[in-house]
Structure 1
Amino acid sequence: MIKWTPTANDVGEDIPICFIAQTTAEYQSELRCIIVVVEERQSKPNIVIANEAPVLGGFLTFTPKGKNPDGTIRMDSRFKASQIYTGSCSPASSWKCHQGDCGTITTSEYGETDPDHPGDNCQLQGFVTRSLQTDKPFDLLDQDCCWTYNTEDLGSWSMIAHIDLGRRSDTGNPNRSPVTTMPPQIRVPQNRPTTYNLLAHDPDGDNVRCRYGIKNNLECSTCKTVPGFTLDENACSLSFSGSSSSGVYVFELVLEDFPRQNTTLKYHDGTSTVKYPMSLDASDPLSKIPLQFLVRVGDAVPSFVLGEYIPKYITPTVHHGTFIRTSLGKEFSFPVSAVSTKSQIKDIEISGPLNIEKTFEYDTVTGVGKAMIKWTPTANDVGEDIPICFIAQTTAEYQSELRCIIVVVEERQIESDVECTDTTMTLYVSKSSIKGFNETNLRLNDPSCLVTTNGSHIIASVSLNSCGTQVEETVDEIIFRNEMTSFDHPHDIITREHQIEIPFTCKFSRKSRLSASFEAHKSAYLSTDVGFGNFTYLFEFYDSSAFTTVIDPKTYPIKLKLKDMIYMGIKVRSSLSNIRLFVESCRATPHDNPNDPIYYDIITNGCTKDKTTKVYSGSLKEFRFGLQAFSFIGNYDQVYISCTVLLCGAGDNKTRCAQGCTDSYNRRKRSMISDTQRHFISQGPLRLAGNSSGCPGFSLNRVIAVALLWPLLWLLEL
């Protein structure tokens, strides 16, 4: 560690410092030198902090934030500098004005993100506010020494950002740069072709191009393309052919945004310029921002099967490119889970904003690593599209795919409260805080569950294991999650973007509150439908084929052995006598979610699919069936049975009920008089208590009993 403190005699000087490493045999490394420019202290200096460790890359993005009270222009920028961890983390960035009027720095802060240092990496995120006298273009430059060891033996590095705050003719606002982030290092096995979808989101909806930097523009150090890798500039994807030699490769990229139509930028001095859509010869983008990182090509992996050596994401991990809305001061969180059966997951590495938090735990029995990522937006984040990326890594340094999400931070603070009991959770939302929204166009995770309203609040009350409520378990807590969202029209099946997203959560201590109520016998499902009034579905497990004794809810989760018969009954309570219950489908899932990507069909389109399933005689208002217990092959410790049910008018041969079992049933528009809407109901969980067949490989709390005797079930990739 080389340290030096300038004196008054050094002010205004360019002080050279050279260094060289030498062995006891008197062999020496290359000679390297740096220049230290000594300036007098300024009241509002640029962030200039000397590197104390080799860097791993970084980026800079910017967002205009309107005018300050004194008439100047406010612009916020966010940068990241990654470096090798050497016992402490200190900022390694020196963004200086290179060209144009860069204004003055009014506020700055920085901090470490993901501070666990699992791979001896250090991520430092910075936030800077500038006050600008003009909206004309300017450039910020960051240069220094040195890259960490790399195959190309690159030494110094250079990044430049081109910023243009002219007012756009298409949006009426100044341009915002693309946003991006990246974990410090990407690791890929030497023999595994892989494609990485780089995060290149533009808040203005512009097209983004990712390209290699140009040395003459100070965009990079050497600007070399990397053999064995292909960069798709328009898709912003980086593909590895699986043929490169092992080593560390440096990527010095530039992200450029182009408008989707000819767009004029107007400036306060009366001048203007025109920007054109992206094309093969387009060379004048709205802005340019750097993105630099390392890819470490490691030893060959023995298997390409996801979930063995290469970590595989499992439910409830979010998909790449997901947009999530949150508001100022509200804690935002999401879980990430990955499994690796032949290598131990040591961490879920994240790259995100200041103040982001992460907890991680690894289950040695299941091979599952779980992280909970939390972040609370501050006033500086309002109006921003905040990127968060994550990647799972094993002790053998194999990594999962790279996934990224965008968190849209709004100023709106929805007034809501959550009330938790041993069996229910209830969300109360103030109507005054969501003015302009139709309260009838609100749904929960299960859209068949209704919300209610009074004069001042919208209310959603659900049992802990109904209406699509998801259950998560940590070492200390059991967590129940649901969400109220809005949609455009009552009959929409999907929506591309929710206008309102209000997640609500209840957390209970495992030590003090672990009881059958959390393992969740489901209460009755209350429903209302045109022509049928109010009715209730009940879904129960029975102790025998006589269907006379319901299994006591206090004994949940129900423990079974392989080949044991599971007896289930679904009935409807209604004041109407001329109705008929129809069970259209049933499936087994390892989570309390009928849309879980991991499932096994028991009944489909009214037809039994499992060979052990038997339907018993019942009544028009009751459906009874049973099947032999089996186990999912995989790392799951509970299972639920989810069914789709509906009611029809009895005696009407044009209803879905009258059609019965059919693989070719035409899902025509339902009759508002003869059919109800389809409703999801579920019950569980069931858990394997022992192995009656003597087959090896099954253990309590590891393998789940439910749905099939002999077929092999496989995991569907997310």
Structure 2
Amino acid sequence: MASTAVLLLQLLLVSLASAAHLLGGSAAFTYRGQNPDGTYRVDLRTKSIFTRCDYLSWSCSGSNCLNVARRPSGVIDRNTNTPVNTCEAETVFTTNVSSDKPFQMRASGCCWRSTANSVNNWRLLTEVDLGKRSDTRKPNRSPDIGILPFLRVPQNCPRTYKLTSFDPDGDKVQCRYGNVRGTECDRCNLPPGFLLDQGSCTLHYNYTQANIKAFALEMVVEDFPQGYINLQYGDGSRSSKAPMTVRRGKRAATTTPTPLSKLPMQFSFLVDPPAPSCQEGAFLPKFLTPTPANGGRFLAEVNKELEIRVKAQATDAKINNIVVSGPANIKKSQNTQGEFVLRWTPLPDDHGQHFVICFAVEAVKSPAVYQSEMRCVLVEARSEIVKSHVICNESSMTVSVEKASFPRLHEDHMQLNDPSNTACSLQRHSNSTHIIAIIPLNACGTQIEEDKENLIFKNEITTVDNPSDLITRKHQMEVQFYCQYSKQGNVSLSFVAHRKNITVCEKGFGTFTYQFEFYPNNQFQTMMDPAAYPLEFDIGKRIYMKIKATSSVNNTELFVESCRAAPYDNPNYHPTYSIFENGCKMDPTVQIHSPAEQKEFKFSMEAFKFIGLNNQVYISCSVMMCEAGNSNTRCSKGCINSTSTSPPRSKREAVIQSASHFVSQGPLRLRRSAESVRATATNLNLNLVFIAGCVLAAVGMVCGVVVYRAKVSKVKYQPLPTFES
């Protein structure tokens, strides 16, 4: 017996020693309707952040409580930049109650991680009232709230946090500090140095002394109707709810009405030592485009992936992390453009609900960690709108979109990113029921991205007023899609990076082919082997290029109007680096070499790389064919300064010069960058995966995305074999 008691004591001590400590928690509820037996079902979606992945245990309090069941928890995010490693998890508790009368859900226990304001026990309370509202004829819906569970700011940098709150019933949402000790909170006092604007749910940090311990903030979120309403219950009884402020006669009188619901919102706030500067963009990260604004709204379709891009800069510290709070299946990654990408796929059970996604970027200058402002966006989960499907294989992606999804649009007014190549025409493969496009991974304006785990090829179908127009102001729909290949797994067929020749047929010029190649020296005799791509150069080494046209029509000449460099093979990518513009040299290292004939253009320049994470360079040129010796053609005019104006084209010009066509070649890479990548197997570069024995993974995650006007949502399907078509 004694040995058993000792063993139990040892196990208890081990359990206590390994127990996680709380750093924050919140909850929101969803009414799921009546069960077949007449009882009522409510889902309580809870979030909790501990020093290791754990969850709060919630119980039901009320005479109508029956049972509570917990679903498995899902991890939202982990952070190693905090004083102790943290893990935020989401857990859903399903509660069944016997009537639609009010009840409470509670979580209480010990202990918070040691706090600066002496909060020890956790006390979280949720109040739910299922009475039918007189204004909506439905039970009250929970406000949607969002907060990062661990905020931090330098002692000397005042900051304002707009705590995101949205009410689907249009009610007034208020955020106050907990004031019912032992039920809503443990200490129930807002720490000094903080100010809370209850009406706007805005928390102001002004100043307080830095502390290695975080403050525990114990807040409560409540919703109140905009006017007087009644709640009717199944037993025939009623209760009334009043707005926050009512008017009586000529004088305004403030009332203290009871809220429709009550939610906990508790989180940690760490005050760090002073920063050398509070200027955003120096030590504190500053958000850049395309980061969405705080309070931005998105539509997401069920079973389709939503993508949110976040970018920030800090000139005096190194950006190394993004912290996120949102639904449990949200994912984060960083691409080679330095952007953080958040991806989330709503499930069928999420239909009709709203979700808040909050994020902040962190930069490090050891030993200090600097956190950006917090931004939150609201996402509404909708059912599928446009039906699309994508299949990926080793060298192309096939997208199929049901025409019935958009009956007023036709493929004549839809195009890919770059429709200049006839192979990229949507009319080529479409039929009476589907828009179908087969897109090579290296053509049609396909953009290439990579992160630590995946290679991603992206394109989109967009609407245009007139296929010959450059812009549109009637942008009705975008169908964005991509193929995502894992860098790890069984190997499949390789992808060839070298760009093939482009053949064009035009009235008055017959058929002609453009060839764009790189050469090892100024002799321009033997082009670089296509199998050697991506080509490797040292910074400053001269690169030799030749564009040649082969035409079935004699007496023609080639003209290169512009050439630009970009980190991606996409003529629409911005920003680009100009080599030629309007026929004029823009790069000071460019040399033009004497051509052997009128249908070729030879030039060279010194190798360079783009600043930042982009190690690759593609060269894209706009070229045309003209009638040789005709002074009225664009070719004969040569370099035209941007300030000068060219005369309008006459009708005769339609047969003396061709349209402009894009030709591109690449990628080029710095030899130093290539060697560095080869030495780091876990950080494979995009193009090394393409060439020389590095091949795409056999299974890709296939994705299609639909965006209506300015509202974004994305589709993701299950992995398909690469041989499927």
Residue 393 of structure 2 corresponds to residue 425 of structure 1 = no
Residue 408 of structure 2 corresponds to residue 416 of structure 1 = no
- Structure 2 match to 1:451: 426
For residues 634 and 305 of structure 2, what CA distance do their matches in structure 1 show? Answer: 51
Q: List gaps (5 residues or longer) in structure 2.
A: 1-12, 247-251, 686-725
Structure 1 residues 143 and 459, CA, compared in 2 at 3 Å: closer, same or farther? same
SS for the counterpart of 2:349 is: helix
User: What is the aligned counterpart of 1:249 among 215, 226, 237?
Assistant: 215
Shift of residue 638, structure 1, vs aligned partner: 1.7
Q: C-alpha deviations, 1:64-114, integer Å up to 9, x for none?
A: 4455556666543311122233xxx4432325346xx87655753141415
For residues 168 and 495 of structure 1, what CA distance do their matches in structure 2 show? Answer: 43
Residue 49 of structure 2 corresponds to residue 82 of structure 1 = yes
User: What is the aligned counterpart of 2:456 among 458, 480, 484?
Assistant: 480
Structure in which a larger fraction of residues adopt helix: 2
Shift of residue 659, structure 1, vs aligned partner: 11
For residues 621 and 202 of structure 1, what CA distance do their matches in structure 2 show? Answer: 66
TM-score by length of 2: 0.65
- Structure 2 match to 1:4: none
User: What is the aligned counterpart of 2:516 among 522, 540, 553?
Assistant: 540
Larger RCO (alpha carbons 8 Å, 6+ apart): 2
Query: For structure 1, which segment, 500-509 or 455-464, has the greater mean C-alpha deviation from structure 2 after superposition?
Result: 500-509
For residues 125 and 586 of structure 1, what CA distance do their matches in structure 2 show? Answer: 51
Shift of residue 215, structure 1, vs aligned partner: 1.0
User: What is the aligned counterpart of 1:92 among 56, 65, 72?
Assistant: 56
Whether the 8 Å CA contact 1:385–1:408 is kept in 2: the answer is yes
Whether the 8 Å CA contact 1:345–1:392 is kept in 2: the answer is yes
SS for the counterpart of 1:245 is: coil
Structure 1 residues 128 and 536, CA, compared in 2 at 3 Å: closer, same or farther? farther
- Structure 1 match to 2:353: 384
For residues 489 and 580 of structure 1, what CA distance do their matches in structure 2 show? Answer: 33
TM-score by length of 1: 0.65
Shift of residue 528, structure 1, vs aligned partner: 11
For residues 127 and 660 of structure 1, what CA distance do their matches in structure 2 show? Answer: 66
Query: For structure 1, which segment, 403-412 or 262-271, has the greater mean C-alpha deviation from structure 2 after superposition?
Result: 262-271
Structure 1 residues 607 and 199, CA, compared in 2 at 3 Å: closer, same or farther? farther
SS for the counterpart of 1:380 is: helix
Q: C-alpha deviations, 1:139-182, integer Å up to 9, x for none?
A: 54444444322111123344444556677798886654343444
For residues 33 and 559 of structure 2, what CA distance do their matches in structure 1 show? Answer: 59
**One-letter amino acid of the structure 2 residue matched with residue 80 of structure 1:** K
User: What is the aligned counterpart of 2:669 among 687, 703, 710?
Assistant: 687
- Structure 1 match to 2:327: 353
For residues 320 and 523 of structure 2, what CA distance do their matches in structure 1 show? Answer: 50
SS for the counterpart of 2:73 is: strand
Whether the 8 Å CA contact 2:288–2:312 is kept in 1: the answer is yes
Whether the 8 Å CA contact 2:241–2:260 is kept in 1: the answer is no
- Structure 2 match to 1:24: none
1:247-326 paired onto structure 2 within 5 Å:
247-255=213-221, 267=232, 288-301=262-275
Structure 1 residues 664 and 60, CA, compared in 2 at 3 Å: closer, same or farther? farther
Structure 1 residues 411 and 654, CA, compared in 2 at 3 Å: closer, same or farther? same
Whether the 8 Å CA contact 1:536–1:573 is kept in 2: the answer is yes
- Structure 1 match to 2:702: none
**One-letter amino acid of the structure 2 residue matched with residue 57 of structure 1:** G
- Structure 1 match to 2:153: 188
**One-letter amino acid of the structure 2 residue matched with residue 629 of structure 1:** A
**One-letter amino acid of the structure 2 residue matched with residue 293 of structure 1:** F
Q: C-alpha deviations, 1:233-288, integer Å up to 9, x for none?
A: 677565545764234122333445678x8796775769797887999979777655
Shift of residue 209, structure 1, vs aligned partner: 5.3
User: What is the aligned counterpart of 1:438 among 405, 409, 433?
Assistant: 409
1:651-662 paired onto structure 2 within 5 Å:
660-662=640-642
For residues 171 and 646 of structure 1, what CA distance do their matches in structure 2 show? Answer: 64
For residues 567 and 131 of structure 1, what CA distance do their matches in structure 2 show? Answer: 74
- Structure 1 match to 2:587: 610
Shift of residue 350, structure 1, vs aligned partner: 3.8
Residue 179 of structure 2 corresponds to residue 215 of structure 1 = yes
Whether the 8 Å CA contact 1:312–1:400 is kept in 2: the answer is no
Whether the 8 Å CA contact 1:186–1:294 is kept in 2: the answer is yes
For residues 567 and 595 of structure 1, what CA distance do their matches in structure 2 show? Answer: 24
Residue 75 of structure 2 corresponds to residue 113 of structure 1 = yes
Shift of residue 460, structure 1, vs aligned partner: 2.6
**One-letter amino acid of the structure 1 residue matched with residue 116 of structure 2:** T
Shift of residue 631, structure 1, vs aligned partner: 3.4
Structure 1 residues 562 and 418, CA, compared in 2 at 3 Å: closer, same or farther? same
For residues 522 and 241 of structure 1, what CA distance do their matches in structure 2 show? Answer: 58
- Structure 2 match to 1:627: 605
Shift of residue 294, structure 1, vs aligned partner: 0.7
Residue 87 of structure 2 corresponds to residue 128 of structure 1 = no
Query: For structure 1, which segment, 531-540 or 151-160, has the greater mean C-alpha deviation from structure 2 after superposition?
Result: 531-540
**One-letter amino acid of the structure 2 residue matched with residue 77 of structure 1:** L
Whether the 8 Å CA contact 1:607–1:662 is kept in 2: the answer is no
Structure 1 residues 245 and 399, CA, compared in 2 at 3 Å: closer, same or farther? closer
- Structure 2 match to 1:716: none
SS for the counterpart of 1:554 is: helix
**One-letter amino acid of the structure 2 residue matched with residue 83 of structure 1:** F
Whether the 8 Å CA contact 2:571–2:620 is kept in 1: the answer is yes
SS for the counterpart of 1:91 is: coil
Residues matched between the structures, number: 628
Q: C-alpha deviations, 1:293-349, integer Å up to 9, x for none?
A: 111122345677989876788999888667665554557777888898987877654
Structure 1 residues 338 and 664, CA, compared in 2 at 3 Å: closer, same or farther? same
For residues 558 and 372 of structure 1, what CA distance do their matches in structure 2 show? Answer: 29
1:456-475 paired onto structure 2 within 5 Å:
456-473=433-450
SS for the counterpart of 2:119 is: coil
SS for the counterpart of 2:531 is: helix
- Structure 2 match to 1:639: 617
Shift of residue 558, structure 1, vs aligned partner: 2.0
Structure 1 residues 107 and 159, CA, compared in 2 at 3 Å: closer, same or farther? closer
- Structure 1 match to 2:8: none
**One-letter amino acid of the structure 1 residue matched with residue 175 of structure 2:** R
SS for the counterpart of 1:503 is: strand
**One-letter amino acid of the structure 1 residue matched with residue 22 of structure 2:** V
**One-letter amino acid of the structure 2 residue matched with residue 461 of structure 1:** I
Structure 1 residues 601 and 369, CA, compared in 2 at 3 Å: closer, same or farther? closer
Structure 1 residues 103 and 635, CA, compared in 2 at 3 Å: closer, same or farther? same
- Structure 2 match to 1:12: none
For residues 35 and 512 of structure 2, what CA distance do their matches in structure 1 show? Answer: 59
Whether the 8 Å CA contact 1:212–1:225 is kept in 2: the answer is no
For residues 354 and 83 of structure 1, what CA distance do their matches in structure 2 show? Answer: 15
Whether the 8 Å CA contact 1:265–1:273 is kept in 2: the answer is yes
For residues 535 and 594 of structure 1, what CA distance do their matches in structure 2 show? Answer: 23
SS for the counterpart of 1:426 is: strand
Shift of residue 60, structure 1, vs aligned partner: 1.3
Structure 1 residues 106 and 379, CA, compared in 2 at 3 Å: closer, same or farther? farther
User: What is the aligned counterpart of 1:505 among 483, 490, 503?
Assistant: 483
1:370-409 paired onto structure 2 within 5 Å:
377-391=346-360, 396=367, 398-401=369-372, 402=374, 404=376, 408-409=380-381
Structure 1 residues 659 and 562, CA, compared in 2 at 3 Å: closer, same or farther? closer
- Structure 2 match to 1:11: none
For residues 460 and 631 of structure 1, what CA distance do their matches in structure 2 show? Answer: 33
Shift of residue 599, structure 1, vs aligned partner: 5.0
For residues 209 and 646 of structure 1, what CA distance do their matches in structure 2 show? Answer: 62
